[in-house]
């Protein structure tokens, strides 16, 4: 069965898209740790990040870096943190999270954003891509 993220790629499910290439997609996390929390995924559905072939893994890092640099310019924060978990969605995704404190990377405190705030965040990040 297709993962939630494959359904986002196919357009079956909506998302707040930040960036897209033939191989990768970046979109806002729907339950963000902080405003600007973004997920970068390969379009190829692979469960675990270290099961990606080496080229896809490195290309995902290059793609994620570009998105992270744009997030850091658009969202006031001390830095953008990167983490990979994957316990909830079995489709490789890199979390890019604007950090102001250690709490922001712990997946305990969540930011509540309105649709308008999600849309404004997309616009703000895309302006730097
Ligand atoms: P994990 O698999 O533990 O790394 O976490 C999966 C992440 O995907 C969580 O931060 C969720 O909030 C996020 N997520 C789940 N469904 C969606 C969705 N439809 N759109 C955007 N983000 C999602």
Can you read off the two tokens belonging to residue 29? 């996390």
Contact 85 CB / ligand 1 (< 6 Å): yes
Q: Tell me which of 34, 39, 93 to substitute to probe ligand 1's pocket, judged by most ligand atoms within 8 Å of the beta carbon.
A: 39
**What is the pTM assigned to this prediction?**
0.98
> Domain total for the chain?
1
**Predicted pLDDT at 43:** 98
Distance between CA atoms of residues 8 and 2, nearest Å: 10
Distance between CA atoms of residues 121 and 113, nearest Å: 10
Beta bridge partners of 97: 81
- Ligand 1 atom closest to the Cα of residue 88 is 2
Domain that holds residue 75: 4-126
Distance between CA atoms of residues 44 and 98, nearest Å: 26
For the purposes of burial, counting CB atoms within 10 Å of the CB of 55, is it exposed (0-12), middle (13-18) or buried (19 or more)?
Answer: exposed
pLDDT, averaged in runs of 10, over the chain (129 residues): 94 98 98 98 98 98 98 98 97 98 94 98 98
- State the chain's mean pLDDT as an integer: 97
**Predicted pLDDT at 78:** 98
Distance between CA atoms of residues 70 and 126, nearest Å: 7
Q: State the catalytic residues.
A: 93
Contact between 84 and 95 under an 8 Å Cβ cutoff? The reply is yes
Give 72 Cα–ligand 1 centroid separation in angstroms. 21
End-to-end Cα, the chain, rounded Å? 33
Give 127 Cα–ligand 1 centroid separation in angstroms. 24
**Predicted pLDDT at 1:** 79
Distance between CA atoms of residues 115 and 103, nearest Å: 24
CATH number at residue 60: 3.30.428.10
**Predicted pLDDT at 66:** 98
């Amino acid at each position: 069965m297709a993962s939630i993220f494959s359904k986002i790629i196919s357009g079956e499910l909506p998302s707040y898209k930040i960036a897209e290439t033939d191989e990768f997609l970046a979109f806002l996390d729907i339950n963000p740790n902080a405003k600007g929390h973004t997920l970068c995924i390969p379009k190829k559905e692979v469960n675990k990040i270290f099961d990606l072939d080496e080229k896809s893994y490195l290309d995902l890092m290059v793609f994620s870096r570009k998105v992270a640099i744009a997030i850091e310019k658009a969202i006031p924060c001390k830095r953008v943190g990167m983490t990979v978990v994957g316990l909830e969605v079995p489709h490789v995704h890199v979390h890019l999270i604007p950090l102001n404190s250690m709490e922001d990377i712990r997946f305990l405190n969540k930011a509540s954003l309105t649709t308008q705030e999600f849309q404004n965040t997309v616009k703000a990040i895309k302006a730097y891509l």
